[in-house]
């Protein structure tokens, strides 16, 4: 009989699940739920989907609608859509940051419209400065009903609309 300590549960990390739709580089769509952990940036809150996808780990688990769990490579995710109504990818709380309305053209010609939050000092709140300083794998584009996380390596060009 293997040794199991009752204190093992003390080290268990609680998670929640958030519904997402992933579009893979090959065009396949995966619908399911990702596992969200406590945020390392906001005490007592859960991380959002963008924190999960932009973290340093190369893979993450996805529970498909069938109940099967698959391990997904972040590099192979072209886009992730999360419903904003269930707080799946709400922007961080705090002082409001300037926004910019954009048209993003992806490799292959697909177009996405939405806004981004220019998380930069007000005197440097230009789209160009924000994009040039972007170090995360995914850019979060907000639409009226969802947050789309776009693999920044697949952005062909950006047109500011305001």
User: Mapping DSSP to helix (H, G, I), strand (E, B) and coil, where does residue 63 land?
Assistant: strand
Look over the chain and give the mean of its residue pLDDT values, rounded to a whole number: 85
Signed CA dihedral, 23, 21, 45, 58: sign only: negative
pLDDT at 7: 54
- The model's pLDDT over 81-124, given as tens digits with 9 standing for 90+, comes to 987 654 434 444 555 678 899 999 999 999 999 999 987 666 66
Q: Are 70 and 129 in contact (CB under 8 A)?
A: no
Distances (CA, A) of 27 to 6, 30, 39, 110: 45, 10, 30, 12
Q: What is the pTM of this model?
A: 0.80
pLDDT at 97: 74
For range 118-144, the mean pLDDT: 86
């Amino acid at each position: 009989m293997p040794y199991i300590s009752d204190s093992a549960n003390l080290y268990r990390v609680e998670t929640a699940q958030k519904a997402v739709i992933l579009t893979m580089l090959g065009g396949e769509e995966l619908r399911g739920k990702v596992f969200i952990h406590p945020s390392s940036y906001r005490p007592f809150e859960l991380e959002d989907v963008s924190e999960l996808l932009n973290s340093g780990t190369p893979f993450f688990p996805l529970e498909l609608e069938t109940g099967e769990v698959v391990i997904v490579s972040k590099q192979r995710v072209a886009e992730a859509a999360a419903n904003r109504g269930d707080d799946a990818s709400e922007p961080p709380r705090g002082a409001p940051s300037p926004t910019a309305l954009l048209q993003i053209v992806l490799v292959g010609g697909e177009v996405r419209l939405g806004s981004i939050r220019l998380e930069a000092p007000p005197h440097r709140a230009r789209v160009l400065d924000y994009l040039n300083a972007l170090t995360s794998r995914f850019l979060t584009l907000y639409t009226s009903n969802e947050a789309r996380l776009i693999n920044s390596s697949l952005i062909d060009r950006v047109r500011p609309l305001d």
